[in-house]
Structure 1
Amino acid sequence: MRLILALSVVLALSVQALHAAGADGHPPFSWGTVPVYAHLANMSEDFTSEQHDFLAEHFDFITIEKGHAKRNRGSTEKGFAIAVQEIKKRNPKAKVLFYWNSTIKIGGYEAIDDFPKGGELVSKDGEPMTIFSCPFCDLSQKEVQDWWADTASVAVRECGADGIFIDAVGKFSINSRRKVLTPEKIEALNDGMVAMVKDTRGKVGPSKLLIQNGVSIDPENIGDRLLKVTDGAMKEHFVSAQPGNKEQLAESIEMLQEVGKSGKVLVIKTWPGFDWRNKEIMKKPREERAKMAREAITFPLACYLIVAEPYSYFCYTWGYQGNDTGTFEWYPELDKPLGPPQGDAKRDGWKYTREFAHASVYVDIETGESKIDWRE
């Protein structure tokens, strides 16, 4: 029995070392400091040399968003390829993902020229379905599934992507779609998405990352179905500077703990209490927004630390597009020694605590009170 236990420990440590080195396609991971993730793009132009330096120095795990540098490079694919090349020149171990929306036909990609004729989704009344003036893709059609998977494969094979960030996986099942699509059509669309992602896995290979935006442990939910195929997920709206609905947050904490323990990669996206849609705040100088974010970071970071497992990454910005939505800010907490967790988080009502080698974490998701005591 002791021999079996010892072998199990050695195997677990070997697998963790393999992941840490990124040898199996996983992003590098370490508890040395808070593990972080970047998600951004600049539609107008390439990142500057200084911005490439910053990304390469601070992040080993990055998604380049839709539309990057398309205005001066002509397409997202060209802009993405240059960004990957520049980042990897500076940080060869970095894993950089290609953003590819699973549901919406977004412009700015060369691949749009090959979109299948008649592949756009229509409602049960025959009306074109759009969001933000972009058509939905009819994923019940095999030709559309093939087009999507082939584009993902090209991004990996020709543009240098280490994998695909699969956005908008739950868009077909929300209430507004249920009003204009039959239950049978929604089921066919979701089945088509699962088939499409499985096909993509085969085309990009097992060592490339597939990260979905949307996470669930409900077997009836498309997020849970896809998680059996993908390597992990982003939880895009985990917490902001204030707790919000404590019951929902407690459910999210429990879910993320379960998914993290399963070995999946998790991106925990948090917010400083505002985002790019707040026009008044976005009119303020960048330095003022950065100050607000610095003052608000403790609660989001503490909530992340409560749920973090190996290959869980912290993301803290107020947007994705442009140079002043938070990615190029940095925070003293992210340089402090952290060390591995000394066990799971403990819950007492709405209060959570957790110990790390160099930090003690406390958070009350009812009041928003939070504290991280850092130790050398």
Structure 2
Amino acid sequence: MTSLRSSVAGFETANPVWVGSSELTMDLAGITACVDAGAGAVVAKSVNEVQAARDQLDIADYAYLDDRLAPVDPVRSRFLFNRSGLAQSTLDDWVRMLAEAEQYARARDSAVVGSITVASAEGAAAIADRLWSVVEAVELNVGAPHGREAASGAVRQLTDGDAVAETVRAVRRVSDKPLIVKLPGTASDVVGLARSAVSAGADAVTLIGRFNGFVPDIDSYDPVLGSWGAIGGPWCLPLSLFAVSKAYRDPAVGVPLIGTNGARDADDVVRFLLSGACAVEVVDAVWVHGPAAITRLVAGVREHLERHGHTDVAEIVGASAERARAYGEIAPTGSRPEPWKR
């Protein structure tokens, strides 16, 4: 029997297919639906200590776009462009809900991960302490794309290594339970940020968050959503795989990696694993196809492993990243392709 069991810094899950933090995981019904569909873990919607971040959910909007940036049916989309905010529950109510969700998940060989989108290091530490009282692991999102557009102080997008380390260190002080740090896609050196997070105590790193985007409507001239926003989807899979594979190859990172941003089918999950991730967070696939997508993703990963003769998912983690060569290591072949010629 092929084993899909995955370990992230001692945090054990039944399989490497996780559901990432989003509006789908903002209540008990959404979380339990993902658990019932077979998710290895479910990352709850993010919270923080700032009312403005919660209020921002009231102006949320979403657009699925095709490869020409035109509105399209979600199934045919290549981009998910959105404006969003954080969960609006009080912290006490949120912790009670997470406790119930975690109990439900554990009874079904799954788990719930708490999530914080950073506003301040001190606030994140205080909330993490509460979340760890009911869940085993917490994901600290230091790179939310909405941080560039949100009301002042509501959400921060950290792209400086010292700022990341300071925030991670503050949260690390309150507990030795598994701490996962989610990094921004917009950083100029995301692997450097991973090193900073690990040096400050991160047990695992999630790569990478969505990007900032702007999309004009070429007929009305209005911006889609009426604003700037966050953009992700299948189009950015190679960018995410680049970040994961580079972090995997960097000995100064040296912690388990979680891939996210771009996986919509089982082949994409496998690509993340081959690039060095030991778990993969999916959001877009579950929004487009519903929680049933999780069942298909898990089955697809298992089918891939069995078809290639593997007995354990760990056997393929990093397999492609380990084979990648730097340009200077590649010898000339004597003939160069000329794909521009017609």
Question: TM-score, normalized by length of structure 1?
Answer: 0.49
- SS of equivalent to 1:99: strand
SS of equivalent residue, structure 1 residue 336: helix
Partner of 2:46: 66
Q: Deviations over 1:183-221 (max 9, x none)?
A: xxx99x86455233213212112x333333348894994
The equivalent position to 1:212 in structure 2, one of 182, 186, 193, is 182
2:174 aligned partner:
203
Q: Which residue of 2 aligns with 1:76?
A: 94
Counterpart mapping for 1:94-113 below 5 A: 94-103=110-119
Give the corresponding residue for 2:281. 315
The structure with the largest alpha-carbon Rg is 1
For 2:103, the equivalent position in structure 1 comes to 85
User: How much does 1:299 deviate?
Assistant: 5.4
Distance 1:56 1:78, change over 3 A: same
Q: State the TM-score, normalized to the length of structure 2.
A: 0.53
- The answer (yes or no) to whether the contact 1:167–1:213 under 8 Å persists in 2 is yes
Q: Which residue of 2 aligns with 1:27?
A: 11
CA gap of 1:55–1:221, structure 2 versus 1, over 3 A, is: same
1:162 aligns with 2:136: yes
- Aligned partners of 1:82 and 1:342: how far apart in 2? 32
Q: Distance in 2 between matches of 1:252 and 1:334?
A: 21
Note the 1:98-177 alignment, pairs <5 A. 98-103=114-119, 144-157=120-133, 160-169=134-143
Higher relative contact order, structure no. (Cα contacts within 8 Å, ≥ 6 residues apart): 2
2:113, 2:139 within 8 Å by CA — same for their partners in 1? yes
Asked if 1:265 corresponds to 2:256, the answer is yes
Aligned-partner Cα distance in 1 for 2:16–2:161? 32
The equivalent of 1:38 in structure 2 is 19
Count of aligned residue pairs for this structure pair? 244
Quick one: distance in 2 between partners of 1:199 and 1:343?
31
* CA positional deviation for 1:301: 3.4
Instruction: Read off the aligned partner of 2:207 and give its amino acid letter.
Output: K
Change (3 A) 1:318 1:161: same
| Closer/same/farther in 2, CA of residues 42 and 236 from structure 1, 3 Å limit | same
Rounded to whole Å, the distance in 2 between the matches of 1:193 and 1:83 is: 29
Match for 1:335 among 295, 302, 306?
A: 302
CA pair 152-168 structure 1, distance change in 2 beyond 3 A: same
1:344 corresponds to:
319
How has the CA–CA distance of structure 1 residues 204 and 328 changed in structure 2, closer, same or farther, with 3 Å as cutoff? farther
Q: Which residue of 1 aligns with 2:195?
A: 224
Q: 2:94 is matched by which residue type in structure 1? A: T
Superposition RMSD on alpha carbons, in Å?
A: 4.9
Task: Give the aligned residue type for 1:145.
Answer: A
2:284 alignment partner AA: W
Q: Matches of 1:43 and 1:243 in 2, distance apart?
A: 22
Contact 1:166 1:212 survives alignment (8 Å): yes
